[in-house]
Structure 1
Amino acid sequence: MQKVGIKTTDVIVEIGPGTGNLTKKLLEADKKVIAVKIDPRMVLELQRRFQGTPHSNRLTLLNHHPVYRAAIIMFRERICYETGCSPGDKLYCRLTVNTRLHPRVFHLLKVGRNNFRPPPKVDSSVVRIEPRKPRIKVKQKESDGFLQICFNRKNKTLGSIFRQKSVISLLEKNYRTVRALELGQEDSLKEVDAKMDFSSFGDNQGMEMDDDGNDDEMEVEDGGGDEVQSEFKDKVLGVLK
C-alpha cells in the first residue's frame, strides 16, 4: 500500500478484482473502490462476498474509463520489458512508443509466479502509470495508424516498409481525405478521424506480425512506380532520405 502512494482522498478503480482479496484490503483501509469486471458471474461473487459487511457501501462495480491521477497495474514480465526498452532493442514495439508518449511509467515491485494458484509460466511486475501533464497533443488515430505501419513487419526497416506501393497508396488516400476536409472546413476533427483509414494494417497493439520472407508487396523505386501518384511518392521518398 505504501509503494502505491494512495492518498486519503483517492477513489480506487480496481480492474479485474478476481475473487476480491485485494479489494478487501482496500476496503479495510477505508477506501472507496470501483471494481471493473466484465464477467457477470464474478460481479455476483464479489457482491455476495461483501454483502452485509461494513464495507459494502464503499464498493461499486462499474465498466467505464474514468480520468485517473495514477494507475497501478500488474503486468507479465515481457510487457514490462517492452515498456522500458530502447530503440533498437528486440522488444521495442508500439507499446513502448505509446507508454513513452502519453504517461510516465515507474516500476514498483516484482511478483513471482509462485504467488499465484495455479502458478503461471512467467513472473509479473507491478508498475505505476501517471498521465503526462500537460498531455502531449497528437492526432491519436493518425499516430496509431502510423505506428501500425511502422511495426507491421518486425524484420523490415522503415525504409523498406514506406517504399511499399500499398503503404504509399494508403498514406496518399488519407492525405487527400484530410486535405479535402480541411479545405471544405465543414467537418469537425472527429469526422476527419472517422474518414481516415488504416484498417488494412490491423490493430495489434504491442504485437508485431512475423515476417515470413514471402511478402508480395512491391517496393517503389526512386525513379519509377507509375501506379502511385508521383508527387506524393516524392514526398514520402524525400522524408525517407
Structure 2
Amino acid sequence: MSEYQHRARKRFGQNFLHDAGVIHRILRAIHAREGERMLEIGPGQGALTEGLLSSGAELDVIELDRDLVPILNHKFAGQTRFRLHQGDALKFDFNSLQPAPHSLRVVGNLPYNISTPLIFHLLNNAGLIRDMHFMLQKEVVERLAAEPGGGDWGRLSIMVQYHCSVEHLFNVGPGAFNPPPKVDSAIVRLTPHAVLPHPAKDHRLLETVVREAFNQRRKTLRNTLKALLTAEQITAADVDGSLRPEQLDLAAFVRLADQLADLQTPA
C-alpha cells in the first residue's frame, strides 16, 4: 500500500464511492457551475471532489479522518479553488466560510451514524444554504421524503420538511462502494424553502410537540401529548385527538405547537 492509498475505516463508517457511472449521475444531479460556493462533507478519496472542481466551483471540504488529509492535498495540489478543513462536520461553524445568504451548496456521502444529527446541524444554518445533495441509507431517504399516513412518516420527515422540500432522486446499490455496505443507498436533494410553508410561532415548541407525539407512535395524540396539551386544547387546534401521530400532516403539528405557544404566552 503506497503512502497515498487508504483502507476504509469502520469507526468512521467509511464506504468509498468508486462506480464511475454513479459518480457521473450524482454530479449531473448536482450540476455545479463556475463560481458557485460548494461544501463537500466527507470527501473520502475525492471521487466527487474531482468533478465538483472541474465545474469551476469554489470548493471547501470537511474531512474527519486525518489520514485522508495528505491524500486529498496531494491529489488536488495546486487547485486554488480547493480548501480542506480537517475536523468534525457536526462541530463545524458554517458561518466561518462567510457565504452569501442562500448560496452554499452542500454535498456529502454521509455515514449512517451521523446523517441525522448532521442534517439537523445544517438545518440550523438553513439561511446560508441553497441546496443539499446527500448519499444516505435508502431507508433514511425514504423517511425524509415520506408523506403522512405511512410508517416512514415521523420526526425526521416533519422537521426536515418544515425547512426544506425533499426529492428522492435515485437509488444506489452496494456494489458502487468499496467496501460494499450491507444496505442500499439513495441520493436525496434538500432545498430550503425561500418562505416556510407552515411557519411555527416557536420552532423549538414544534420540535417538542413532534418528539412527544412520536415517542409512543402507536398511541393516540391525546395520550402522547397529555403532558403538553389537554384533549380540549388539542381540539381547539383543529386536530382530532383520537388520531395517531403518523396520521397528522406538518400543518397540523404546527397548529398544535402554536396552541402550546399561546398557552405559554402571558395574557
TM-score of the aligned structures, taking structure 1 as reference length: 0.63
Q: Report whether the alignment pairs 1:34 with 2:60.
A: yes
Give the secondary structure class of the aligned counterpart of 1:40.
coil
Q: 1:75 aligns with which of 131, 136, 139?
A: 136
Q: Report whether the alignment pairs 1:127 with 2:127.
A: no
Q: Report whether the alignment pairs 1:65 with 2:74.
A: no
Distance 1:18 1:88 in 2: 38
1:87-98 to 2 correspondences below 5 Å: 87-98=148-159
> Which residue of 1 is the match for residue 211 of structure 2?
148
**What is the deviation of 1:43?**
3.2
Give the secondary structure class of the aligned counterpart of 2:130.
coil
Distance 1:65 1:129 in 2: 17
Give the secondary structure class of the aligned counterpart of 1:128.
strand
> Which residue of 1 is the match for residue 225 of structure 2?
162
Distance 1:58 1:238 in 2: 56
236 and 42 in structure 1: CA distance in 2 versus 1, 3 angstrom threshold: farther
Distance 2:47 2:62 in 1: 14
**C-alpha contact (below 8 Å) 1:162/1:236 kept by paired residues:** no
Distance 2:47 2:33 in 1: 20
Give the unaligned 5+ runs of structure 1.
172-232
Distance 1:25 1:71 in 2: 16
Larger Rg over CA atoms? 1
Tell which deviates more after alignment, 152-161 or 73-82.
152-161
Q: 1:47 aligns with which of 63, 67, 73?
A: 73
Give the secondary structure class of the aligned counterpart of 1:125.
strand
Greater per-residue strand proportion: 2
Distance 2:235 2:195 in 1: 33
Give the secondary structure class of the aligned counterpart of 2:217.
coil
Residue 72 of structure 2 aligns with an amino acid whose one-letter code is L
Q: CA RMSD in A?
A: 2.3
Give the unaligned 5+ runs of structure 2.
1-26, 86-91, 96-127, 243-267
Query: For residues 42-99 of structure 1, what are the alpha-carbon distances to aligned partners after superposition, in whole Å with 9 as ceiling and x for unaligned?
Result: 3344223323xx32x2111243335121111111110121122222211111111122
Query: For residues 152-206 of structure 1, what are the alpha-carbon distances to aligned partners after superposition, in whole Å with 9 as ceiling and x for unaligned?
Result: 112222122123xxx24xx7xxxxxxxxxxxxxxxxxxxxxxxxxxxxxxxxxxx
Residue 158 of structure 1 aligns with an amino acid whose one-letter code is L
238 and 29 in structure 1: CA distance in 2 versus 1, 3 angstrom threshold: closer
TM-score of the aligned structures, taking structure 2 as reference length: 0.58
> Which residue of 1 is the match for residue 171 of structure 2?
110
Distance 1:161 1:120 in 2: 36
